[in-house]
Amino acid sequence: MSTIIRTRSPFFIRTPDESDADLSFFRLILTIFKGSTGSTPACGDLNETITLEKKILPTETSVTFEISEIVNQYFEQPFTGTYSADMQSLWVSTGITARKADGTLIGSSTDGVYLAQEGFNTFKEGVNFTDENEALISSNYIQVKDGDAIRLPVNAQNVTSVEFKEGNTTISTANVTDDLSSPQKIQYVVRSYSSSINIDSIVVNFTGRSSSGTRTITVEAVEECKFSPYKCVFLNRWGAFQDVYFFKKSTSSLESKNETFNKSIFAANTITSSLVGGVCTPASTYNTYSTTEHSMQTFNSNAKQSLVLNTGFIKEAMNITLEELLLSEYIWLVDSLNNVFPVLLKESNLQTKTSLNDRLINYTMNFEMSFDYINNVR
């Protein structure tokens, strides 16, 4: 089971101590690749090698490298309505060597292999936090629109199976197999909708580094008869796509922007032509202008469309999901016709609500389309 690096947070690698008097610098060779460890990446797959060097201070015998910022730029997070984990996990191999001033090797190389994902750790979790989740969501409660499939991202390194249950009855079981390739490390387990079955819980069976166990996630199917719900898909703290629904009132708005300039509409000499005796004859009109022509001209006119969405009443357990949505760098909205729109979340703060303080919990969020209304892609 490989150690996971969440690349939106720092990950530090400390070199071994080297007491050689001629020690000048340490060299770290990073190889970032897609595929399986121990095999050559397929043609066209990512296989990037980066060399870092750091000189020592006179009193130092080792140094520290931070690699997350470098690795993070190699992820790809496309979403077209299909949940692809193809580039959501990448292998990172490291080779550390101590060197003399002329580059001569001292001793042997210290190697390591890590699994990188575009998630993050919190400040309270400390340095190099690498604990793993089984189901790659933080809450044990999810909502789904009645009629939609239930989709759960899981960590294939330690999840063995996922059970979809109605009451105490297991309706179906999905086995999870880790084939050791990076595209399979995050898997999306799906249970299709059935009008005759009401899935109300998911049991995730896992084997950890030192123990095995289960995790139960409550599922609530919501039937919305009045409004057209939006599904929001975002990249969560674990580096996986997660769904959250906005069931209630939605409001669309359009905010335009443009520039203007003054242009001269004065015509010192306007030449017009007309037929005179069957001959096209020019005639001049001097010192005039049109009272219907714009002397203030608009240009570069465009607009941004925004959507204000409401979750409807939810449980406190959804708070952590909305906190991660606020911190996500990749967000899409899916409308009732399954059109997918990349969006930006315009909210900069989230006042956490509780049933004790607020009784009924509803969140209102403002999204902006991450493209201009008029197509200007060139």
Q: Are 81 and 100 in contact (CB under 8 A)?
A: no
Q: Which pair of tokens denotes residue 85? A: 């984990």
Q: Is the pLDDT of residue 173 over 80?
A: yes
Q: Do domains 3-125 and 132-223 have the same CATH topology?
A: yes
The pairing of strands 105-117 and 3-6 is parallel
**pLDDT value, residue 208:** 74
Q: Which pair of tokens denotes residue 49? A: 């090698």
**pLDDT value, residue 290:** 87
Specify the DSSP element, H or E, that contains 155: strand 150-155
**pLDDT value, residue 41:** 82
Dihedral, CA of residue 76, residue 78, residue 82 and residue 84, to nearest 10: 0
**pLDDT value, residue 273:** 83
Q: Is the pLDDT of residue 227 over 80?
A: yes
Q: Which pair of tokens denotes residue 341? A: 């729109």
**pLDDT value, residue 77:** 95
- The count of other CB atoms within 10 Å of the CB of residue 158 is 20
Q: Which pair of tokens denotes residue 287? A: 């010192």
pLDDT tens digits for range 276-318: 778 887 888 888 888 888 899 988 999 999 999 999 999 999 9
Domain boundaries, the chain: 3-125, 132-223, 225-261+298-378, 262-297
Residues 6+ apart with CB under 8 A from 152: 135, 137, 142, 162, 188, 189, 190, 202, 204, 217
Q: Is the pLDDT of residue 210 over 70?
A: no
The CATH architecture one would assign to domain 3-125 is Sandwich (2.60)
Question: What share of the chain in percent tops pLDDT 90?
Answer: 76
Of the candidates 99, 102, 116, 107, the residue with the CA atom closest to the CA atom of residue 63: 99
pLDDT tens digits for range 76-117: 999 999 999 999 999 999 999 999 999 999 988 889 999 999
**pLDDT value, residue 285:** 85
In the structure, what pLDDT confidence band is assigned to residue 63 with cuts at 50, 70 and 90?
very high
Q: Rounded CA gap, 71 and 250, in Å? A: 38
**pLDDT value, residue 194:** 85
In the structure, what pLDDT confidence band is assigned to residue 230 with cuts at 50, 70 and 90?
very high
Q: Is the pLDDT of residue 193 over 70?
A: yes
- Side-chain-side CA neighbours of residue 338 (13 Å): 4
Mean pLDDT over the full length of the chain: 93
Exposed, middle or buried, 195 (CB in 10 Å: 0-12/13-18/19+)?
exposed
**pLDDT value, residue 85:** 94
Compute the average pLDDT of residues 253-260. 92
Q: Rounded CA gap, 358 and 378, in Å? A: 48
**pLDDT value, residue 44:** 83
**pLDDT value, residue 38:** 74
Q: Which pTM does this prediction carry?
A: 0.90
Question: What share of the chain in percent tops pLDDT 70?
Answer: 99
**pLDDT value, residue 270:** 81
Q: Are 129 and 30 in contact (CB under 8 A)?
A: no
Q: Are 115 and 94 in contact (CB under 8 A)?
A: no
Q: How far is CA 374 from CA 37, 298, 341, 344, in A?
A: 46, 15, 15, 17
Of the candidates 53, 57, 40, 49, the residue with the CA atom closest to the CA atom of residue 96: 53
Which CATH number applies to 132-223? 2.60.40.10
pLDDT tens digits for range 14-35: 999 999 999 999 999 999 999 9
In the structure, what pLDDT confidence band is assigned to residue 209 with cuts at 50, 70 and 90?
low
Residue 16, φ and ψ in degrees, nearest 5: -65, 155
**pLDDT value, residue 268:** 85
Q: Which residue has the tokens 């610098």?
A: 25
In the structure, what pLDDT confidence band is assigned to residue 51 with cuts at 50, 70 and 90?
very high
Q: Is the pLDDT of residue 61 over 90?
A: yes
**pLDDT value, residue 86:** 94
3-state secondary structure of 58: coil
Q: Is the pLDDT of residue 244 over 70?
A: yes
**pLDDT value, residue 42:** 82
Q: How far is CA 117 from CA 150, 157, 187, 271, in A?
A: 23, 13, 13, 70
